[in-house]
Amino acid sequence: MNEVIHRLQREAERIAARHRAPDFYIRFRAPMAMARRLYFSHGEVIALREYVTPLLQESLGHGLFHSSRVGLDAATIICVEMEAARIDRVRIERLMVLGLMAGLLHDISRGEDNHAEAGAVEAEKVLARFPVTDEEIRSVARAIRNHEAFTVPIRSRRPAFQLLSDSLYDGDKFRWGRDTFTHTLWHMMSHQGLTPRELIEKFPWGMSGVVRIVDTFRSTTGKHFGPEIIENGVAIGREIYQYLLQNY
């Protein structure tokens, strides 16, 4: 990433910091803290993180930063919805661990055509080395297969595995909010070798793509809180666009 892009990313972070955090990140601090605790202390999650870190492609904006945040939001959604359904703690924590694992693995084949399908196949191979049941492996793979936007997902018979799939999708699409403008955009700009003027030309088209995701959230929590996360990102994106127009 060159100095110009670095400076732009820092400016984008300054702009984002002036915007209030979306409600999801304020309302669900407790489930999020639980997700974070599992992410940093659960043995299988730590081992998987160490395994996938060198395989994730930071250059495409889909490295550990992205994958860990997808898993943390997926695990948070799982916790929120299972607590509401009064499911016992052990089952909640197990599905949260699978959510974190699905997040870490979902973009493992990001560089390939049909990366959701390729990632699902790869995830099955990786998880076979871990103490995870066959049914759990299949459900993580299905969630990864289902994570592409604007496709029809394959449904699960078991509500818990359906929640795993829906929460992975929503955790991934939450990233289309402010993370697009503080993180992904600059990695893509760097990867594609764009100048600021070229970025300006592509910007309106990119923004219209972001807005289309609003109607696609799948979990109850995602449908409720996802649109505001996207609106928050779009507001930040508009300010970044103005900054680019004024300075380049």
93 belongs to the binding site for Fe ion (CB under 5 A): no
- Looking at 30-38, 83-91, 170-178, 202-210, which segment touches Fe ion (CB under 5 A)? 170-178
Element (H, E) at 16: helix 3-17
- Looking at 42-50, 91-99, 171-179, 186-194, which segment touches Fe ion (CB under 5 A)? 171-179
Query: Are the CB atoms for 6 and 68 separated by under 8 Å?
Result: no
- Minimum CB distance to Fe ion, residue 3 (Å): 28
Residue list 95-134, contact with Fe ion (CB under 5 A) = 107
* Rounded Cα distance, 110 and 56, in Å: 8
* Rounded Cα distance, 90 and 86, in Å: 12
73 belongs to the binding site for Fe ion (CB under 5 A): no
* Rounded Cα distance, 22 and 225, in Å: 8
At residue 44, what are phi and psi to the nearest 5 degrees?
-65, -35
Contact letters (x/-) for Fe ion, 26-55, by CB under 5 A? ------------------------------
- Minimum CB distance to Fe ion, residue 229 (Å): 15
Contact letters (x/-) for Fe ion, 217-236, by CB under 5 A? --------------------
- Minimum CB distance to Fe ion, residue 144 (Å): 8
Query: Are the CB atoms for 144 and 123 separated by under 8 Å?
Result: yes
159-174 and 134-145 are packed helices; what angle lies between their axes, rounded to 10 degrees?
A: 40
What length does the chain have?
A: 248
- Minimum CB distance to Fe ion, residue 189 (Å): 18
- Minimum CB distance to Fe ion, residue 14 (Å): 25
Size of the site for Fe ion (CB under 5 A): 2
172 belongs to the binding site for Fe ion (CB under 5 A): yes
* Rounded Cα distance, 157 and 105, in Å: 23
In the block, which residue shows the tokens 């999020």? 32
- Minimum CB distance to Fe ion, residue 109 (Å): 9
Query: Are the CB atoms for 201 and 74 separated by under 8 Å?
Result: no
Closer of 69 and 238 to Fe ion (Cβ): 69
Closer of 85 and 149 to Fe ion (Cβ): 149
Q: Which residues bind Fe ion (CB under 5 A)?
A: 107, 172
